[in-house]
A and B are shown apart, each in its own frame.
Chain A
Amino acid sequence: MVWKQHEYDDIPGTYVFDGERAHSSYALNKLFYSFNEDKCRAEFNADPAAYCDKFDLSDEHRDMVVKQQFLDILRAGANIYYMAKFCIPRGVSVQDAGAAFQGISGDEFRENLLKKREGLEQRIAREGGYWNG
């Protein structure tokens, strides 16, 4: 039994959420999916370890969730949209999660994004035909 290789595997710094990751992180994502319901969030908050056990998390995955190690959770293959249901209510944005991969702060990450704005209007004007304020 072997996981098939893909063309996207070679893109640096990029982890595509495919069958291999979806399979290994299934229980994690299922737990996060349950957080759509307020009563599940409350039950988790009351006793995180016991709640994890209801989802048959591995010891390693349960530890990450209980300790809220968001970067480790993503490295374990959890899907970012599902992780967002866990981290955002805890004051950690998706941008903070992205920043953690680069070892920078969320503010630094947002600064880097804002740099994309520099010269944008001039770039759009050169392109022509676009609404530009």
Chain B
Amino acid sequence: MAKIIGGVTTSHIPAVGNAISQGLTQDHYWKRFFDGYQPVKDWLAEKKPDVIIIVYNDHGLNFFLDKIPTFAIGCADEYQNADEGWGLKPTSPFAGDAEFSWHLAESLINQEFDMCTCQEMLVDHGFVNPMRVLFGDHEIWPVKTVPLVVNTVQHPLPSAERCFKLGQALKIAIESYPEDLNVVIAGTGGMSHQLQGERAGIIDVDYDLATMESMINDPAWFYQQSNAEIIEKAGTEGIETIMWLVMRGAMGDKVNCLHKHYHAPISNTGAGVMLLEQDSNS
């Protein structure tokens, strides 16, 4: 049977990819941020997961605002990166696992999460940068992928609690797959940041750290807040952090935190890196 061996949180902002491409990861501005990933990279290299589910939001590459699914899942053998308008060279394609994805979609829909299933899906920086920062750059990536897209762009968005419940359903979906797969789930995005409006530039370190602590012992602290409450604290784009709850919901009641790292600012954002595993005693 498939099992969840770990959960990760990570930023996915464009600047992270640019820093990797430009060889800046050891520059003063970036060093502390990237160094804090090393234990997670080491863990992934040791555990060699078969599949990683990347929970992220599309920023106008695969989905336009004409049709915005609240939750969408890639169900293909391969996912291509593409130009997002900035003329950057796309990464090499990412292998999918169509059978696993379709199983997840079916299980989630049976559990009343009506996923949009995507047989073609361009993956943007929200997906690509977590892959690059966690695994390094590859012609052939060392892990299969499942893109899981949450609408955090065009309101109304799903609530934080809904994201958590999607994660709980995702756990049931994963653990009912008959193949022996080791699965990691990455909740991406955040943390506090706001890109526009007179309040642009906010970073709330205390709120970010409280959010990270809640991911370990008390996710309800985070998911019981309304989206308006989260936006008030974390900013209009900081609302992305609700996607971490998809990962956290899939991790079961009790988790062990193997690593946590926080840095600010990275571009406009607070950046939190966590590595969680399910507590085997719970």
Of B59, B86, B199, B236, which one neighbours A12 at CB under 8 angstroms? B199
Q: Does A50 contact B (CB under 8 A)?
A: no
Partner of B199, one of A13, A85, A86: A13
Interface residues of B (CB under 8 A from A): 32, 35-36, 39, 59-61, 64-66, 82-87, 153-156, 194-201, 203, 205, 209, 226-228, 231-232, 235-237, 257, 259-265, 267-268, 270, 273
Q: Is the CB of A18 within 8 A of B231?
A: no
Q: Which of B59, B60, B64, B154 has the most CB of A within 10 A?
A: B60
**Contact assessment for A38 and B264 in the assembled complex, using a CB-CB cutoff below 8 Å:** no
The list of the 3 closest CB pairs from A to B, nearest first, reads A85-B85, A98-B200, A13-B198
A7 to B197, CA, bound (A): 17
- A92 interfacial by beta-carbon distance below 8 Å: no
A8, A17, A127: the one within 8 Å of B228 (CB) = A8
B83:A120 contact, CB within 8 angstroms: no
Q: A113, B228: Cβ atoms under 8 Å?
A: no
Complex Cα spacing A129 to B256, Å: 12
Q: How many residues of A contact B (CB 8 A)?
A: 54
24 contacts between A and B (CB under 8 A): A8-B227, A8-B231, A11-B231, A12-B198, A12-B199, A14-B232, A14-B235, A15-B196, A15-B197, A29-B65, A36-B60, A38-B83, A80-B195, A82-B65, A84-B85, A88-B85, A95-B268, A99-B201, A109-B201, A117-B264, A117-B265, A120-B264, A130-B262, A131-B273
Given contacts A30-B64, A113-B268, A117-B264, 18 further A-B contacts (CB under 8 A): A11-B232, A13-B199, A14-B199, A16-B236, A17-B154, A18-B156, A29-B64, A36-B85, A98-B268, A99-B200, A101-B200, A109-B201, A114-B265, A116-B203, A116-B264, A116-B270, A120-B264, A124-B262
Q: Mark A65-87, 1 if CB is under 8 A from B, else 0.
A: 00000000010000111101110
CA distance A8 to B155 in the complex (A): 11
**Residues 1-45 of chain A: 1 if any B CB is under 8 Å from the residue's CB, otherwise 0?**
000001110011111111100100010011011011110010000
Closest partner residue, chain A, to B66 (CB atom):
A30
Cross-chain contact B228 with A6 (CB below 8 angstroms)? yes
Interface residues of chain A, those whose CB is within 8 Å of chain B, are 6-8, 11-19, 22, 26, 29-30, 32-33, 35-38, 41, 74, 79-82, 84-86, 88-89, 94-95, 97-99, 101-102, 109, 112-114, 116-117, 120, 123-124, 127, 129-131, 133
Q: Which single member of B198, B209, B273 contacts A102 (CB below 8 Å)?
A: B198
In angstroms, Cα B198 to Cα A86, docked, is: 21
A43 CA / B259 CA spacing, docked (Å): 49
Take A14-B236, A36-B83 as given contacts and tell me if A130 and B260 are in contact as well, using a CB distance cutoff of 8 Å. Answer: yes
* Residues from chain B with Cβ under 8 Å of A127 in the complex: 209
How many Å from the CB of B89 to the closest CB on chain A?
A: 12
- Closest-by-CB residue of B relative to A129 is B260
Residues on the B chain within 8 Å of A120, using CB: 205, 263-264
Q: Considering only CB atoms, which chain A residue lies closest to B61 in the complex?
A: A36
Minimum distance in angstroms from B152 CB to a CB of chain A: 10
CB-CB under 8 A for A7 and B228, given A17-B155, A94-B195, A116-B264: yes
Q: Is the CB of A85 within 8 A of B86?
A: yes
The answer on a CB contact under 8 Å between B264 and A89 is: no
Complex CA–CA separation, A84 to B195 (angstroms): 11
A residues in contact with B198, CB < 8 Å: 12-13, 101-102
Closest to A84 in B: B85
Selected contact of A79 from candidates B35, B82, B153, B227, CB within 8 Å: B153
Residues of B within 8 A of A11 (CB): 199, 228, 231-232
- Which of chain A's residues have a CB closer than 8 A to the CB of B65? 22, 26, 29-30, 33, 79, 82
Chain A's nearest CB lies how many Å from the CB of B255?
14
